Structure 1
Amino acid sequence: MQSTKQQLKALAEARRGVIVPGAFNALSAKVIEDLGYEALYVTGAGVTNMGFGLPDQGFMGLTDIADHTARIRDAVELPLIVDADTGFGNALNTYHAVRTLERAGADCIQLEDQVSPKRCGHFSGKAVIETSEMVSKIRAAVDARRDGLLVMARTDAAAVHGFDAAVERAQAYAEAGADILFVEAVTTAEHVRALPQRLQVPQLMNMVIGGKTPIVGADELGRLGYGFVLYANAALQGAVAGMQKVLAQLRDAREVREDPTLVAPFAERQRLVGKPFWDALEKKYA
Protein backbone atom coordinates (compact mmCIF):
# COMPACT_ATOMS: atom_id res chain seq x y z
CA MET A 1 0.00 0.00 0.00
CA GLN A 2 1.33 3.44 -0.95
CA SER A 3 2.25 5.88 1.78
CA THR A 4 0.61 9.28 1.74
CA LYS A 5 3.89 10.77 0.46
CA GLN A 6 3.93 8.28 -2.42
CA GLN A 7 0.26 9.02 -3.15
CA LEU A 8 0.99 12.75 -3.29
CA LYS A 9 3.98 12.26 -5.58
CA ALA A 10 1.88 10.15 -7.94
CA LEU A 11 -0.84 12.80 -7.99
CA ALA A 12 1.71 15.51 -8.83
CA GLU A 13 3.27 13.49 -11.62
CA ALA A 14 -0.12 12.61 -13.15
CA ARG A 15 -0.62 16.33 -13.95
CA ARG A 16 -4.39 16.06 -14.15
CA GLY A 17 -5.40 19.13 -12.15
CA VAL A 18 -6.19 17.49 -8.81
CA ILE A 19 -8.21 19.93 -6.70
CA VAL A 20 -6.64 20.48 -3.29
CA PRO A 21 -8.88 22.32 -0.82
CA GLY A 22 -7.40 24.11 2.18
CA ALA A 23 -8.12 22.96 5.73
CA PHE A 24 -7.86 25.41 8.62
CA ASN A 25 -8.51 22.87 11.40
CA ALA A 26 -9.18 19.16 11.93
CA LEU A 27 -12.94 19.34 11.34
CA SER A 28 -12.55 21.15 8.03
CA ALA A 29 -10.01 18.46 7.07
CA LYS A 30 -12.54 15.73 7.92
CA VAL A 31 -15.17 17.41 5.74
CA ILE A 32 -12.68 17.54 2.84
CA GLU A 33 -11.87 13.86 3.24
CA ASP A 34 -15.54 12.91 3.64
CA LEU A 35 -16.38 14.60 0.33
CA GLY A 36 -13.86 12.46 -1.54
CA TYR A 37 -10.95 14.81 -2.24
CA GLU A 38 -7.58 13.18 -2.85
CA ALA A 39 -5.33 15.55 -0.88
CA LEU A 40 -5.57 18.67 1.24
CA TYR A 41 -3.58 21.77 2.04
CA VAL A 42 -2.94 22.94 5.59
CA THR A 43 -3.36 26.65 4.98
CA GLY A 44 -1.30 29.22 6.84
CA ALA A 45 -3.76 31.97 5.92
CA GLY A 46 -6.61 29.83 7.23
CA VAL A 47 -4.82 29.04 10.48
CA THR A 48 -4.05 32.74 10.94
CA ASN A 49 -7.56 33.94 10.05
CA MET A 50 -9.52 31.29 11.94
CA GLY A 51 -7.10 30.60 14.77
CA PHE A 52 -6.03 34.16 15.58
CA GLY A 53 -8.59 36.36 13.84
CA LEU A 54 -5.71 38.12 12.07
CA PRO A 55 -4.77 38.74 8.41
CA ASP A 56 -2.19 36.62 6.61
CA GLN A 57 0.80 38.85 7.33
CA GLY A 58 3.34 36.63 9.05
CA PHE A 59 1.68 36.23 12.44
CA MET A 60 1.72 32.42 12.31
CA GLY A 61 4.75 30.65 13.78
CA LEU A 62 6.25 27.20 13.30
CA THR A 63 4.66 25.86 16.49
CA ASP A 64 1.23 27.04 15.35
CA ILE A 65 1.34 25.31 11.98
CA ALA A 66 2.98 22.19 13.45
CA ASP A 67 0.22 21.86 16.05
CA HIS A 68 -2.48 22.22 13.41
CA THR A 69 -0.70 19.74 11.13
CA ALA A 70 -0.47 17.14 13.88
CA ARG A 71 -4.16 17.46 14.72
CA ILE A 72 -5.14 17.21 11.06
CA ARG A 73 -2.81 14.24 10.54
CA ASP A 74 -4.58 12.44 13.39
CA ALA A 75 -7.99 13.27 11.93
CA VAL A 76 -7.57 12.21 8.28
CA GLU A 77 -5.61 9.81 6.09
CA LEU A 78 -5.24 12.11 3.08
CA PRO A 79 -1.85 13.39 1.87
CA LEU A 80 -1.05 16.76 3.46
CA ILE A 81 0.61 19.71 1.77
CA VAL A 82 1.65 22.07 4.56
CA ASP A 83 2.19 25.81 4.23
CA ALA A 84 5.50 26.67 5.91
CA ASP A 85 5.55 30.32 4.79
CA THR A 86 9.17 31.46 4.43
CA GLY A 87 10.62 28.60 6.48
CA PHE A 88 10.41 30.88 9.53
CA GLY A 89 13.88 32.34 9.06
CA ASN A 90 17.06 31.50 7.19
CA ALA A 91 18.24 28.18 5.72
CA LEU A 92 18.97 26.76 9.18
CA ASN A 93 15.49 27.70 10.41
CA THR A 94 14.08 26.12 7.26
CA TYR A 95 15.96 22.89 7.97
CA HIS A 96 14.46 22.83 11.47
CA ALA A 97 10.98 23.67 10.17
CA VAL A 98 11.06 20.81 7.68
CA ARG A 99 12.11 18.31 10.35
CA THR A 100 9.41 19.62 12.70
CA LEU A 101 6.61 19.54 10.15
CA GLU A 102 7.56 16.15 8.79
CA ARG A 103 7.36 14.74 12.33
CA ALA A 104 3.94 16.40 12.64
CA GLY A 105 2.70 14.49 9.60
CA ALA A 106 3.37 16.65 6.54
CA ASP A 107 3.82 14.91 3.18
CA CYS A 108 4.89 18.07 1.35
CA ILE A 109 6.31 21.33 2.69
CA GLN A 110 5.59 24.57 0.82
CA LEU A 111 8.24 27.30 1.08
CA GLU A 112 8.05 30.77 -0.41
CA ASP A 113 10.59 33.40 -1.38
CA GLN A 114 9.03 36.44 0.30
CA VAL A 115 10.85 38.71 2.69
CA SER A 116 9.84 37.98 6.28
CA PRO A 117 7.32 38.85 7.64
CA LYS A 118 5.47 37.50 4.61
CA ARG A 119 1.98 38.44 3.52
CA CYS A 120 -0.79 36.82 1.54
CA GLY A 121 0.28 36.27 -2.05
CA HIS A 122 -2.70 38.27 -3.28
CA PHE A 123 -1.98 41.33 -1.10
CA SER A 124 -0.14 44.35 -2.43
CA GLY A 125 3.23 45.46 -1.10
CA LYS A 126 5.10 42.13 -1.29
CA ALA A 127 8.90 41.88 -1.42
CA VAL A 128 11.08 38.88 -2.23
CA ILE A 129 14.48 37.72 -1.08
CA GLU A 130 17.40 37.12 -3.45
CA THR A 131 17.16 34.01 -5.58
CA SER A 132 20.38 32.68 -4.06
CA GLU A 133 18.95 32.88 -0.54
CA MET A 134 15.84 30.95 -1.54
CA VAL A 135 17.98 28.36 -3.31
CA SER A 136 19.83 27.85 -0.03
CA LYS A 137 16.54 27.32 1.80
CA ILE A 138 15.42 24.73 -0.73
CA ARG A 139 18.73 22.90 -0.47
CA ALA A 140 18.36 22.91 3.32
CA ALA A 141 14.80 21.56 3.03
CA VAL A 142 15.95 18.77 0.69
CA ASP A 143 18.75 17.83 3.09
CA ALA A 144 16.44 17.88 6.12
CA ARG A 145 13.67 15.70 4.76
CA ARG A 146 13.21 12.00 5.43
CA ASP A 147 11.09 9.20 3.96
CA GLY A 148 10.13 10.75 0.64
CA LEU A 149 8.85 14.14 1.84
CA LEU A 150 8.16 16.48 -1.09
CA VAL A 151 9.35 20.09 -1.24
CA MET A 152 7.20 22.70 -2.98
CA ALA A 153 8.86 25.99 -3.90
CA ARG A 154 6.66 29.05 -4.31
CA THR A 155 7.76 32.30 -5.85
CA ASP A 156 5.97 35.61 -5.37
CA ALA A 157 8.30 37.40 -7.78
CA ALA A 158 5.70 37.94 -10.51
CA ALA A 159 4.21 40.82 -8.52
CA VAL A 160 7.62 42.34 -7.83
CA HIS A 161 9.85 41.65 -10.85
CA GLY A 162 7.42 40.44 -13.49
CA PHE A 163 6.32 37.12 -14.96
CA ASP A 164 9.56 36.20 -16.75
CA ALA A 165 11.61 36.79 -13.60
CA ALA A 166 9.23 34.56 -11.66
CA VAL A 167 9.68 31.78 -14.22
CA GLU A 168 13.46 32.14 -13.99
CA ARG A 169 13.30 31.86 -10.21
CA ALA A 170 11.04 28.83 -10.37
CA GLN A 171 13.49 27.11 -12.70
CA ALA A 172 16.35 27.82 -10.29
CA TYR A 173 14.30 26.37 -7.45
CA ALA A 174 13.65 23.20 -9.45
CA GLU A 175 17.38 22.87 -10.09
CA ALA A 176 17.96 23.23 -6.33
CA GLY A 177 15.76 20.19 -5.72
CA ALA A 178 12.14 21.37 -5.46
CA ASP A 179 9.70 18.63 -6.45
CA ILE A 180 6.73 20.93 -7.18
CA LEU A 181 6.67 24.57 -8.30
CA PHE A 182 4.13 27.24 -7.39
CA VAL A 183 4.23 30.57 -9.22
CA GLU A 184 1.90 32.73 -7.16
CA ALA A 185 -0.50 35.50 -8.18
CA VAL A 186 -0.07 35.53 -11.94
CA THR A 187 -2.59 38.01 -13.27
CA THR A 188 -3.52 36.87 -16.80
CA ALA A 189 -4.97 33.72 -18.35
CA GLU A 190 -2.10 33.86 -20.85
CA HIS A 191 0.43 33.43 -18.05
CA VAL A 192 -1.61 30.62 -16.51
CA ARG A 193 -1.47 28.79 -19.85
CA ALA A 194 2.23 29.51 -20.37
CA LEU A 195 3.64 28.12 -17.12
CA PRO A 196 3.34 24.38 -17.91
CA GLN A 197 5.07 25.04 -21.23
CA ARG A 198 8.00 26.85 -19.65
CA LEU A 199 8.61 24.72 -16.55
CA GLN A 200 9.05 20.96 -16.64
CA VAL A 201 8.59 20.18 -12.93
CA PRO A 202 4.98 19.48 -11.76
CA GLN A 203 3.18 22.66 -10.76
CA LEU A 204 0.40 23.94 -8.54
CA MET A 205 -1.90 26.78 -9.56
CA ASN A 206 -3.60 28.76 -6.80
CA MET A 207 -7.21 29.81 -7.36
CA VAL A 208 -8.00 32.56 -4.83
CA ILE A 209 -11.67 33.57 -4.85
CA GLY A 210 -11.53 37.35 -5.21
CA GLY A 211 -7.74 37.31 -5.74
CA LYS A 212 -5.45 38.52 -8.50
CA THR A 213 -5.38 35.35 -10.65
CA PRO A 214 -8.30 34.76 -13.04
CA ILE A 215 -10.33 31.70 -12.07
CA VAL A 216 -9.72 28.82 -14.50
CA GLY A 217 -11.56 25.52 -14.17
CA ALA A 218 -9.68 22.52 -12.82
CA ASP A 219 -10.46 20.47 -15.92
CA GLU A 220 -8.77 23.05 -18.13
CA LEU A 221 -5.82 23.37 -15.76
CA GLY A 222 -5.44 19.59 -15.86
CA ARG A 223 -5.42 19.63 -19.66
CA LEU A 224 -2.73 22.32 -19.50
CA GLY A 225 -0.62 19.98 -17.36
CA TYR A 226 -0.93 21.32 -13.82
CA GLY A 227 -0.55 18.72 -11.10
CA PHE A 228 -2.61 20.52 -8.47
CA VAL A 229 -5.30 23.20 -8.35
CA LEU A 230 -5.30 24.84 -4.94
CA TYR A 231 -8.39 26.37 -3.35
CA ALA A 232 -6.64 27.25 -0.11
CA ASN A 233 -9.45 29.17 1.54
CA ALA A 234 -12.67 28.27 -0.26
CA ALA A 235 -13.82 26.30 2.79
CA LEU A 236 -12.86 29.18 5.08
CA GLN A 237 -14.79 31.71 3.01
CA GLY A 238 -17.77 29.35 2.89
CA ALA A 239 -17.60 28.84 6.66
CA VAL A 240 -17.55 32.59 7.28
CA ALA A 241 -20.55 33.07 4.99
CA GLY A 242 -22.39 30.25 6.76
CA MET A 243 -21.66 31.65 10.22
CA GLN A 244 -22.80 35.10 9.19
CA LYS A 245 -26.02 33.69 7.75
CA VAL A 246 -27.04 31.57 10.74
CA LEU A 247 -26.03 34.17 13.32
CA ALA A 248 -27.94 36.88 11.48
CA GLN A 249 -30.97 34.60 11.51
CA LEU A 250 -30.54 34.01 15.26
CA ARG A 251 -30.18 37.75 15.91
CA ASP A 252 -33.21 38.73 13.86
CA ALA A 253 -35.62 35.85 14.49
CA ARG A 254 -34.47 35.14 18.04
CA GLU A 255 -34.35 31.41 17.26
CA VAL A 256 -32.82 28.88 14.87
CA ARG A 257 -34.62 25.65 14.09
CA GLU A 258 -33.23 22.52 12.40
CA ASP A 259 -32.92 23.52 8.76
CA PRO A 260 -30.31 21.70 6.61
CA THR A 261 -30.02 24.74 4.33
CA LEU A 262 -28.92 26.79 7.34
CA VAL A 263 -27.18 24.43 9.78
CA ALA A 264 -25.75 20.92 9.60
CA PRO A 265 -28.04 18.47 11.42
CA PHE A 266 -26.96 17.41 14.91
CA ALA A 267 -26.52 13.81 13.74
CA GLU A 268 -24.35 14.86 10.81
CA ARG A 269 -22.03 16.77 13.12
CA GLN A 270 -21.63 13.69 15.30
CA ARG A 271 -20.96 11.50 12.27
CA LEU A 272 -18.22 13.80 10.99
CA VAL A 273 -16.39 13.79 14.32
CA GLY A 274 -16.59 10.00 14.57
CA LYS A 275 -18.92 9.62 17.55
CA PRO A 276 -19.94 6.03 16.61
CA PHE A 277 -16.26 5.01 16.74
CA TRP A 278 -15.83 6.51 20.21
CA ASP A 279 -19.10 4.97 21.38
CA ALA A 280 -17.83 1.55 20.29
CA LEU A 281 -14.55 2.11 22.13
CA GLU A 282 -16.43 3.10 25.26
CA LYS A 283 -18.34 -0.19 25.18
CA LYS A 284 -15.16 -2.15 24.47
CA TYR A 285 -13.36 -0.73 27.49
CA ALA A 286 -16.33 -0.57 29.86
Structure 2
Amino acid sequence: MNYPDRLRALLAKPGLVVMPAVWDGLTAKLAAAAGFQTAFLSGSCVAASRLGGPDLDLISFGEMFDSFNMVHAAAPQTLVLADGDHGYGNAMNVQRTVRAYGRAGAAAVLIEDKITPRALTAAGKPCLSRDEARMKIRAAVEAAKESGILVLARTDCRPTQGIDEAVARIEMYVKEGADILFLDSPADDGEIRRAVAAAGGKPSFAVLSPGAPRATPSQKEAAALGFKIGTYPTGMLSPAAAGMKAGLAALIAGGAEAASAMPPPELRATLGYADYDAAAKPFIVPA
Protein backbone atom coordinates (compact mmCIF):
# COMPACT_ATOMS: atom_id res chain seq x y z
CA MET A 1 0.00 0.00 0.00
CA ASN A 2 1.51 3.36 -1.01
CA TYR A 3 1.64 6.48 1.14
CA PRO A 4 -1.57 8.11 -0.15
CA ASP A 5 -3.53 4.87 0.24
CA ARG A 6 -2.21 4.42 3.77
CA LEU A 7 -3.36 7.94 4.62
CA ARG A 8 -6.79 7.27 3.10
CA ALA A 9 -7.09 4.16 5.25
CA LEU A 10 -6.09 6.09 8.36
CA LEU A 11 -8.60 8.85 7.66
CA ALA A 12 -11.34 6.26 7.23
CA LYS A 13 -10.91 5.19 10.86
CA PRO A 14 -12.82 6.93 13.65
CA GLY A 15 -11.19 9.64 15.75
CA LEU A 16 -9.14 12.79 15.29
CA VAL A 17 -5.76 12.38 13.58
CA VAL A 18 -3.25 14.49 15.52
CA MET A 19 -0.54 15.62 13.12
CA PRO A 20 2.59 17.23 14.59
CA ALA A 21 4.39 19.79 12.45
CA VAL A 22 7.95 18.90 11.44
CA TRP A 23 10.66 20.64 9.46
CA ASP A 24 13.80 18.48 9.35
CA GLY A 25 15.21 15.03 10.00
CA LEU A 26 15.40 15.35 13.78
CA THR A 27 11.83 16.57 14.25
CA ALA A 28 10.52 13.87 11.91
CA LYS A 29 12.47 11.19 13.75
CA LEU A 30 11.26 12.38 17.15
CA ALA A 31 7.62 12.48 16.02
CA ALA A 32 7.84 8.96 14.61
CA ALA A 33 9.54 7.67 17.77
CA ALA A 34 6.73 9.18 19.83
CA GLY A 35 4.25 7.05 17.89
CA PHE A 36 2.79 9.52 15.39
CA GLN A 37 1.93 7.95 12.04
CA THR A 38 1.54 11.29 10.28
CA ALA A 39 3.28 14.66 10.17
CA PHE A 40 2.74 18.05 8.55
CA LEU A 41 5.69 19.58 6.75
CA SER A 42 4.82 23.10 7.87
CA GLY A 43 5.85 26.13 5.85
CA SER A 44 5.93 28.26 8.99
CA CYS A 45 8.29 25.81 10.69
CA VAL A 46 10.54 25.55 7.64
CA ALA A 47 10.67 29.36 7.44
CA ALA A 48 11.58 29.55 11.12
CA SER A 49 14.33 26.94 10.84
CA ARG A 50 15.83 28.03 7.51
CA LEU A 51 15.38 31.79 7.69
CA GLY A 52 15.03 32.41 11.39
CA GLY A 53 12.00 34.43 10.35
CA PRO A 54 8.23 34.49 9.93
CA ASP A 55 6.05 32.61 7.47
CA LEU A 56 5.49 35.36 4.90
CA ASP A 57 5.90 33.51 1.60
CA LEU A 58 9.67 33.93 1.48
CA ILE A 59 10.42 30.20 1.37
CA SER A 60 10.82 28.76 -2.13
CA PHE A 61 9.59 25.46 -3.53
CA GLY A 62 13.18 24.20 -3.68
CA GLU A 63 13.71 24.87 0.02
CA MET A 64 10.42 23.21 0.98
CA PHE A 65 11.13 20.20 -1.21
CA ASP A 66 14.61 19.83 0.27
CA SER A 67 13.05 19.89 3.73
CA PHE A 68 10.57 17.22 2.68
CA ASN A 69 13.39 14.98 1.52
CA MET A 70 15.12 15.38 4.89
CA VAL A 71 11.90 14.51 6.73
CA HIS A 72 11.13 11.55 4.48
CA ALA A 73 14.64 10.11 4.77
CA ALA A 74 14.65 10.33 8.56
CA ALA A 75 11.16 8.87 9.00
CA PRO A 76 10.39 6.86 5.85
CA GLN A 77 7.20 5.29 7.23
CA THR A 78 5.63 8.59 8.27
CA LEU A 79 2.69 9.80 6.20
CA VAL A 80 3.71 13.36 5.36
CA LEU A 81 1.31 16.14 4.40
CA ALA A 82 3.49 18.60 2.49
CA ASP A 83 2.74 22.31 2.62
CA GLY A 84 2.54 23.29 -1.03
CA ASP A 85 1.62 26.88 -0.15
CA HIS A 86 0.10 28.63 -3.20
CA GLY A 87 1.80 26.19 -5.58
CA TYR A 88 4.58 28.74 -6.21
CA GLY A 89 2.89 30.36 -9.17
CA ASN A 90 0.02 29.70 -11.55
CA ALA A 91 -1.91 26.48 -12.24
CA MET A 92 1.02 24.98 -14.13
CA ASN A 93 3.34 25.67 -11.18
CA VAL A 94 0.76 23.98 -8.97
CA GLN A 95 0.91 20.89 -11.15
CA ARG A 96 4.70 20.76 -10.95
CA THR A 97 4.54 21.09 -7.16
CA VAL A 98 1.93 18.35 -6.76
CA ARG A 99 3.69 15.94 -9.10
CA ALA A 100 7.05 16.47 -7.41
CA TYR A 101 5.70 15.74 -3.94
CA GLY A 102 3.75 12.74 -5.22
CA ARG A 103 6.78 11.20 -6.91
CA ALA A 104 8.93 11.83 -3.84
CA GLY A 105 6.61 9.96 -1.47
CA ALA A 106 4.37 12.54 0.18
CA ALA A 107 0.94 11.26 1.21
CA ALA A 108 -0.84 14.59 0.69
CA VAL A 109 -0.14 18.16 -0.39
CA LEU A 110 -1.77 21.44 0.65
CA ILE A 111 -2.63 24.06 -1.96
CA GLU A 112 -4.09 27.44 -0.93
CA ASP A 113 -5.83 30.35 -2.65
CA LYS A 114 -3.68 33.26 -1.46
CA ILE A 115 -2.34 35.74 -3.99
CA THR A 116 1.35 35.43 -4.80
CA PRO A 117 3.51 37.41 -4.60
CA ARG A 118 1.95 38.80 -1.44
CA ALA A 119 1.69 42.51 -0.74
CA LEU A 120 4.65 43.95 1.15
CA THR A 121 3.01 43.72 4.55
CA ALA A 122 2.64 41.05 7.21
CA ALA A 123 -1.04 41.92 7.61
CA GLY A 124 -3.89 40.24 5.77
CA LYS A 125 -4.17 37.39 3.30
CA PRO A 126 -5.59 38.70 0.01
CA CYS A 127 -6.87 35.82 -2.12
CA LEU A 128 -7.31 34.99 -5.77
CA SER A 129 -10.67 35.37 -7.44
CA ARG A 130 -12.97 32.40 -7.05
CA ASP A 131 -12.43 31.29 -10.65
CA GLU A 132 -8.63 31.48 -10.40
CA ALA A 133 -8.74 29.52 -7.15
CA ARG A 134 -10.96 26.91 -8.79
CA MET A 135 -8.44 26.41 -11.59
CA LYS A 136 -5.55 25.96 -9.16
CA ILE A 137 -7.40 23.20 -7.32
CA ARG A 138 -8.54 21.67 -10.62
CA ALA A 139 -4.90 21.64 -11.76
CA ALA A 140 -3.79 20.07 -8.47
CA VAL A 141 -6.41 17.31 -8.63
CA GLU A 142 -5.47 16.54 -12.23
CA ALA A 143 -1.75 16.34 -11.39
CA ALA A 144 -2.45 14.18 -8.32
CA LYS A 145 -3.79 11.37 -10.53
CA GLU A 146 -0.23 10.43 -11.44
CA SER A 147 0.75 9.30 -7.92
CA GLY A 148 -2.55 9.21 -6.07
CA ILE A 149 -1.36 11.91 -3.63
CA LEU A 150 -4.24 13.49 -1.70
CA VAL A 151 -5.00 17.16 -2.33
CA LEU A 152 -5.80 19.38 0.63
CA ALA A 153 -7.55 22.53 -0.59
CA ARG A 154 -7.21 25.51 1.73
CA THR A 155 -9.04 28.81 1.61
CA ASP A 156 -7.57 31.86 3.32
CA CYS A 157 -10.37 34.22 2.31
CA ARG A 158 -12.29 34.24 5.61
CA PRO A 159 -10.54 37.35 7.09
CA THR A 160 -10.83 39.45 3.91
CA GLN A 161 -13.99 38.21 2.18
CA GLY A 162 -16.07 36.69 4.96
CA ILE A 163 -17.35 33.30 5.97
CA ASP A 164 -19.98 33.05 3.23
CA GLU A 165 -17.34 33.28 0.51
CA ALA A 166 -15.07 30.87 2.39
CA VAL A 167 -17.85 28.28 2.67
CA ALA A 168 -18.69 28.71 -1.02
CA ARG A 169 -15.06 28.02 -1.89
CA ILE A 170 -14.98 24.87 0.20
CA GLU A 171 -18.07 23.61 -1.61
CA MET A 172 -16.40 24.47 -4.91
CA TYR A 173 -13.21 22.62 -3.98
CA VAL A 174 -15.24 19.55 -3.06
CA LYS A 175 -16.84 19.61 -6.52
CA GLU A 176 -13.38 19.92 -8.08
CA GLY A 177 -12.29 16.70 -6.35
CA ALA A 178 -10.21 17.89 -3.39
CA ASP A 179 -9.69 15.13 -0.81
CA ILE A 180 -9.29 17.23 2.35
CA LEU A 181 -10.69 20.70 3.09
CA PHE A 182 -9.28 23.52 5.21
CA LEU A 183 -10.91 26.78 6.31
CA ASP A 184 -8.18 29.03 7.65
CA SER A 185 -8.96 31.41 10.53
CA PRO A 186 -12.51 30.43 11.57
CA ALA A 187 -13.85 32.90 14.09
CA ASP A 188 -15.92 30.54 16.23
CA ASP A 189 -17.57 27.14 16.51
CA GLY A 190 -20.44 28.21 14.27
CA GLU A 191 -18.10 28.96 11.39
CA ILE A 192 -16.28 25.69 11.96
CA ARG A 193 -19.54 23.76 11.74
CA ARG A 194 -20.45 25.53 8.49
CA ALA A 195 -17.10 24.68 6.96
CA VAL A 196 -17.26 21.05 8.05
CA ALA A 197 -20.77 20.75 6.61
CA ALA A 198 -19.59 22.32 3.34
CA ALA A 199 -16.93 19.60 3.05
CA GLY A 200 -19.77 17.14 2.40
CA GLY A 201 -18.34 14.29 4.43
CA LYS A 202 -14.76 14.71 3.25
CA PRO A 203 -12.12 15.19 5.98
CA SER A 204 -11.68 18.68 7.42
CA PHE A 205 -8.27 19.92 8.56
CA ALA A 206 -7.53 22.44 11.32
CA VAL A 207 -4.58 24.32 12.77
CA LEU A 208 -5.01 23.99 16.54
CA SER A 209 -1.92 25.76 17.88
CA PRO A 210 -2.81 28.68 20.16
CA GLY A 211 -1.81 32.30 19.65
CA ALA A 212 -3.32 33.30 16.30
CA PRO A 213 -6.62 35.18 15.78
CA ARG A 214 -8.69 32.07 15.10
CA ALA A 215 -10.81 29.56 16.99
CA THR A 216 -8.54 26.90 18.54
CA PRO A 217 -10.61 24.13 20.11
CA SER A 218 -9.03 21.38 22.16
CA GLN A 219 -8.49 17.97 20.58
CA LYS A 220 -11.70 16.67 22.16
CA GLU A 221 -13.65 19.74 21.05
CA ALA A 222 -12.18 19.59 17.53
CA ALA A 223 -13.31 15.99 17.13
CA ALA A 224 -16.79 16.87 18.37
CA LEU A 225 -16.99 19.75 15.86
CA GLY A 226 -16.24 17.35 13.01
CA PHE A 227 -12.57 17.94 12.32
CA LYS A 228 -10.65 14.89 11.13
CA ILE A 229 -7.08 16.23 11.22
CA GLY A 230 -5.57 18.65 13.71
CA THR A 231 -2.05 20.01 13.31
CA TYR A 232 0.13 21.96 15.73
CA PRO A 233 2.75 24.12 13.96
CA THR A 234 4.14 25.45 17.25
CA GLY A 235 3.87 22.13 19.10
CA MET A 236 7.57 21.33 18.72
CA LEU A 237 8.85 24.64 17.35
CA SER A 238 8.05 26.74 20.40
CA PRO A 239 9.54 24.33 22.98
CA ALA A 240 12.58 23.86 20.73
CA ALA A 241 13.19 27.61 20.55
CA ALA A 242 12.68 27.90 24.30
CA GLY A 243 15.14 25.06 24.91
CA MET A 244 17.81 26.66 22.71
CA LYS A 245 17.38 29.98 24.48
CA ALA A 246 17.74 28.18 27.81
CA GLY A 247 20.93 26.53 26.60
CA LEU A 248 22.40 29.85 25.52
CA ALA A 249 21.43 31.44 28.83
CA ALA A 250 23.23 28.62 30.66
CA LEU A 251 26.42 29.28 28.66
CA ILE A 252 26.23 33.01 29.39
CA ALA A 253 25.84 32.21 33.09
CA GLY A 254 29.01 30.12 33.03
CA GLY A 255 27.40 26.69 32.86
CA ALA A 256 27.67 23.87 30.36
CA GLU A 257 24.00 23.17 29.63
CA ALA A 258 20.49 24.06 30.69
CA ALA A 259 18.75 22.16 33.45
CA SER A 260 16.31 20.83 30.86
CA ALA A 261 19.05 19.36 28.63
CA MET A 262 18.97 15.68 27.75
CA PRO A 263 21.64 13.60 29.51
CA PRO A 264 24.42 12.80 26.99
CA PRO A 265 23.56 9.07 26.77
CA GLU A 266 19.93 9.88 25.98
CA LEU A 267 20.95 12.39 23.32
CA ARG A 268 23.29 9.86 21.68
CA ALA A 269 20.54 7.24 21.72
CA THR A 270 18.06 9.71 20.22
CA LEU A 271 20.45 10.57 17.42
CA GLY A 272 21.09 6.90 16.69
CA TYR A 273 24.78 6.32 17.34
CA ALA A 274 24.15 2.68 18.25
CA ASP A 275 22.01 2.22 15.15
CA TYR A 276 24.85 3.54 13.02
CA ASP A 277 27.32 1.11 14.58
CA ALA A 278 24.97 -1.82 14.02
CA ALA A 279 24.39 -0.87 10.39
CA ALA A 280 28.10 -0.30 9.72
CA LYS A 281 29.36 -3.49 11.35
CA PRO A 282 28.98 -5.78 8.26
CA PHE A 283 31.20 -3.42 6.25
CA ILE A 284 34.14 -3.18 8.64
CA VAL A 285 37.37 -4.50 7.13
CA PRO A 286 39.07 -6.88 9.61
CA ALA A 287 42.37 -5.65 10.97
The answer, yes or no, to whether TM exceeds 0.5 is yes
Q: Does the 8 Å contact 2:247/2:258 carry over to 1?
A: no
**5+ residue gaps in structure 2?**
none
The residue type equivalent to 2:180 in the other structure is: I
- Distance in 1 between the 2:180 and 2:240 partners? 29
Equivalenced residues, count: 279
Deviates more, 1:77-86 or 1:229-238: 229-238
The residue type equivalent to 1:270 in the other structure is: R
The residue type equivalent to 1:153 in the other structure is: A
- Distance in 2 between the 1:238 and 1:179 partners? 32
Q: Does the 8 Å contact 2:189/2:225 carry over to 1?
A: no
> Which position in structure 1 is the counterpart of 2:250?
249
Measure how far apart 1:14 and its partner are: 3.4
Matches within 5 A, 1:44-123: 44-76=43-75, 77-118=77-118
More contact order relative to length (CA 8 Å, sep ≥ 6): 1
- Distance in 2 between the 1:9 and 1:23 partners? 21
Measure how far apart 1:100 and its partner are: 1.6
TM-score by length of 2: 0.91
1:93-138 Cα offsets, whole Å, 9 max, x none, are 111111122233211010000001359xxx6321000111121111
Q: Does the 8 Å contact 1:16/1:228 carry over to 2?
A: no
> Which position in structure 1 is the counterpart of 2:266?
268
Q: Does the 8 Å contact 1:22/1:230 carry over to 2?
A: yes
Percent of pairs with identical residues: 29
- Distance in 1 between the 2:6 and 2:266 partners? 29
- Distance in 1 between the 2:87 and 2:225 partners? 30
Q: Is 1:152 the counterpart of 2:152 in the alignment?
A: yes
Runs of 4+ in structure 1 over 6 Å off: none
Q: Does the 8 Å contact 1:58/1:118 carry over to 2?
A: yes
Measure how far apart 1:224 and its partner are: 2.5
> Which position in structure 1 is the counterpart of 2:25?
26
- Distance in 2 between the 1:5 and 1:114 partners? 25
The residue type equivalent to 2:278 in the other structure is: A
> Which position in structure 2 is the counterpart of 1:134?
133
Equivalent position SS for 1:69: helix
Measure how far apart 1:83 and its partner are: 0.3
Q: Does the 8 Å contact 2:193/2:226 carry over to 1?
A: no
Q: Does the 8 Å contact 2:23/2:68 carry over to 1?
A: no
Deviates more, 1:84-93 or 1:214-223: 214-223
**Which of 269, 277, 280 lines up with 2:278 in the alignment?**
280
1:34-66 Cα offsets, whole Å, 9 max, x none, are 111121000111111111112111111111111
Q: Does the 8 Å contact 1:81/1:106 carry over to 2?
A: yes
> Which position in structure 2 is the counterpart of 1:218?
219
- Distance in 1 between the 2:141 and 2:20 partners? 25
> Which position in structure 1 is the counterpart of 2:123?
124
Measure how far apart 1:26 and its partner are: 1.1
**5+ residue gaps in structure 1?**
none
Q: Does the 8 Å contact 1:206/1:231 carry over to 2?
A: yes
Measure how far apart 1:271 and its partner are: 2.2
Equivalent position SS for 2:151: strand
Q: Is 1:3 the counterpart of 2:10 in the alignment?
A: no
Q: Does the 8 Å contact 2:196/2:226 carry over to 1?
A: yes
Measure how far apart 1:15 and its partner are: 5.5
- Distance in 2 between the 1:111 and 1:266 partners? 41
Measure how far apart 1:190 and its partner are: 2.6
The Cα RMSD (Å) is 1.8
Q: Does the 8 Å contact 2:207/2:216 carry over to 1?
A: no
Measure how far apart 1:257 and its partner are: 4.7
Q: Does the 8 Å contact 1:249/1:256 carry over to 2?
A: yes
Q: Does the 8 Å contact 2:204/2:228 carry over to 1?
A: yes
The residue type equivalent to 1:205 in the other structure is: A
Measure how far apart 1:85 and its partner are: 0.6
TM-score by length of 1: 0.92
CA gap of 1:257–1:137, structure 2 versus 1, over 3 A, is closer
Measure how far apart 1:222 and its partner are: 1.6
